[in-house]
Amino acid sequence: MRGFIFDIKHFAVHDGPGIRTTVFLKGCPLKCLWCHNPESIGKQSQLGFLEHKCTSCGSCVRACSSGAHTIDSDGKHIFDRSKCTLCGKCATVCPGKVLTYYGKEAEVEEIVADVLKDKDFYVCSKNGGVTLSGGECLMQPDFCEALLKRFKEENLHTAVDTCGFVSKAALDKVIPYTDLFLYDLKAIDSDVHKRCTGQDNAVILENLKYIDSLGKSIEIRYPYVPGFNDGEVRKIGELLKGLSNITRVKVLPYHNYASTKYKSLDMVDTLPTVIPADAEIEEAKSVLRDMGLCVAD
């Protein structure tokens, strides 16, 4: 079986316990204003172009049979996206990684072989293993099921990083083969959620309760974005207090490092401008701790 991915990251230490390999699947149903992986949102391939790093060497001009790249008489590189058919050839010849191609079809066994290269590291780090992430990996539920099934056959610890805006049928496919869910919780108030992500959160809250009711371990990820969802701390705490299998809560301070990536992909930059102060994050963590939750440092 084949799926559509955009990256495989080895030695990941923030995507679940221990040392892990994270497989990033392409496509996401939400449009979070603060998304730091804009290349993950679209289901189709994309070509990133970091114009400010281009040396006008001309390799891409020669590689592209569509005429999408030209160097003008002043030596300036002009990239005409309307001519690009997303074949990806230019990215393979660009010497400075100015061009990056996001999106690749991959076979289950190809990914399993890649993940297994680091098996010794998973074994010697506590609960290390493999994480499926995105985008929203569960937009490709059959592919996720096939991958996770194979990882369990190899006795690997498995985690699924999800925004929760998926069908119950998709969840049911992966639940038997998933040791830990990394579950994004952006807001409890539906209007706040809609404003921040473009979607209502009823399905997300239902799915969270559903996974919890099945006794599956869940780590909550709360991206803290001042002026958007910073008023949700107590509401999130109240909901989580009523659940039984929340292993811990991670408050993730918003950052705007992805700004260059939006530009390189010719996507509208929706990143908020205000970065949270350390004290604000510590306050949010302390509120959640005082509500009896285990909160990551």
Interface residues with ligand SF4 (CB under 6 A) are 47, 54-60, 63-64, 66, 68-69, 77, 84-90, 94, 96, 98-99
For ligand SF4, give the closer residue by CB, 58 or 227: 58
For ligand SF4, give the closer residue by CB, 57 or 205: 57
For ligand SF4, give the closer residue by CB, 48 or 129: 48
Q: Write down the least CB distance from residue 78 to ligand SF4, Å.
A: 10
Q: Write down the least CB distance from residue 97 to ligand SF4, Å.
A: 8
For ligand SF4, give the closer residue by CB, 88 or 253: 88
Paired sense of beta strands 46-49 and 99-102, if any: antiparallel
Q: Write down the least CB distance from residue 213 to ligand SF4, Å.
A: 46
Residue keyed to tokens 């939400």:
30
For ligand SF4, give the closer residue by CB, 96 or 227: 96
Residues 6 or more apart whose Cβ sits within 8 Å of residue 134: 24, 25, 26, 27, 28, 37, 40, 161
For ligand SF4, give the closer residue by CB, 77 or 193: 77
Paired sense of beta strands 246-253 and 217-224, if any: parallel
Q: Write down the least CB distance from residue 13 to ligand SF4, Å.
A: 31
- Determine contact, residues 239/205, Cβ cutoff 8 Å: yes
Dihedral sign for Cα atoms in the order 109, 124, 126, 285: negative
DSSP 56-88: ---HHHHH-TT--EEE-TTS-EEE-GGG-----
Q: Write down the least CB distance from residue 49 to ligand SF4, Å.
A: 7
Q: Strand (E) positions, the chain? A: 2-12, 20-25, 46-49, 69-71, 77-79, 99-102, 104-107, 129-133, 157-162, 180-184, 217-224, 246-253
Q: Write down the least CB distance from residue 66 to ligand SF4, Å.
A: 4
